[in-house]
Amino acid sequence: MQRTILHADINNFYASVECLYRPELREKPVAVTGDVEARHGIILAKNNLAKATGVKTGEAIWQAKQKCPELLCLPPDFRKYLRFSKLARAIYEEYTDQIEPFGIDEAWLDVTGSVHLFGDGREIADTIRQRLRDELGITGSVGVSFNKIFAKLGSDMKKPDATTIITRDNFQQLVWPLPVGELLYVGRSTQQKLRNRAIFTIGDLAKRDIPSLRLLLGVWGETLWHFANGLDVAPVRRSGEESIIISIGNSTTAPRDLINNEDVKLIFYVLAESVAARLRQHGVKCKTVAIYVRNTELFSFERQGALRNPSSLSSEIVSKAMELFVSHYSWDKPIRSIGVRGANLVTADQHVQLELFEEDNTKVEALEKMMDGIRKRFGHYSIQRCVMLQDRHLTGFNPKEDHVIHPVSFFK
């Protein structure tokens, strides 16, 4: 039985919600932007009037202002966006229980079992778009296809407020002429590698032989070949179904450039507190610590190292992170952003072989769990490490909550 998969994408989501609350802005170019003072000054979303002037998501505010001097920049309000995301999901749930979010404003829906109740894929997609307009006051584009990859492509092909159907009979005419960069997870680096092999369109990719793509991109080359040929068979997860957690991490752009090891250690402590708390929340420990570093010239690298024993303690995560950092960075340039991640996860209650002269961390683990409870009850800043007081401007953020919501991986 052929599947009927929808991909619903709410148009200009953040900007559309802001214009709902402020109708006087609807006829003006509007963008929702990051915090310039916190050095997150990029375009998060824009309305159609701003888009028409060339403003792009992800570019710096000053670049957008050059294209559109009259651009109105608004700060994000994620409480409002989450509310509308939940309202949209409530509409989707009336048609299927197989709903897989892809970020805050997109979702896949498997309506294969619902077509005999609500009509074919196009009818369901058109009904959903109509209800988004009538009930929420926002518009959405919906792609309809027989797999997730092509449904996602369909929702991107026509905007705003459109339904696009990609079938087994027409996908070669609709999909293959598109630039290869339109395919999900073909980023700039992969796109350049493909272009170097004269692969410019999705059709060019689909017609290449798998061995040559594996030689170029490894196993990822074969995956993309399957995507291009419509052979994606990934299921749409059911509502409430959680993916397996493979790593837990946080990163941040620092409020100012980091110029020495002490600055880096302070940020590592803030990030590691969040990572460790989330490890404990999920009942896991990490065997590996990974760091991400990007300097002011936008050069970046990642390094990882194994812990002696699995851990969910922020102090041990910071110790390994600093060890990795000191051995791999020579301070040619100041650092702009930094990240910490716990990987290679194991269950927290597994047995660990203790050494005779090694300190038992049981009391420290109990102490950090108690700190989790205090923060849950009285707020994140109710209890802090003394080291955080050295530079409150640098450490005064909560990485567990102060974040932008990005799409989750297709493969999780």
Catalytic residue ranges: 106
Smallest Cα–Cα separation from 87: which of 160, 16, 165? 16
Omega of the bond leading into 160 within 30 degrees of 0 (cis): yes
96: its two tokens = 């299927």
With residue 5 as reference, give the H or E element that holds it. strand 5-10
Residues 162 and 112: their CA atoms lie apart, in Å, by 21
Cβ(28)–Cβ(49) below 8 Å: yes
Cβ(281)–Cβ(250) below 8 Å: no
CA dist 358 to 285, 307, 353, 368, Å? 19, 14, 10, 19
Phi and psi at residue 108, to the nearest 5°: -95, 145
Cβ(157)–Cβ(164) below 8 Å: yes
Residues 42 and 14: their CA atoms lie apart, in Å, by 14
Residues 8 and 143: their CA atoms lie apart, in Å, by 7
Cβ(225)–Cβ(213) below 8 Å: yes
277: its two tokens = 């708390």
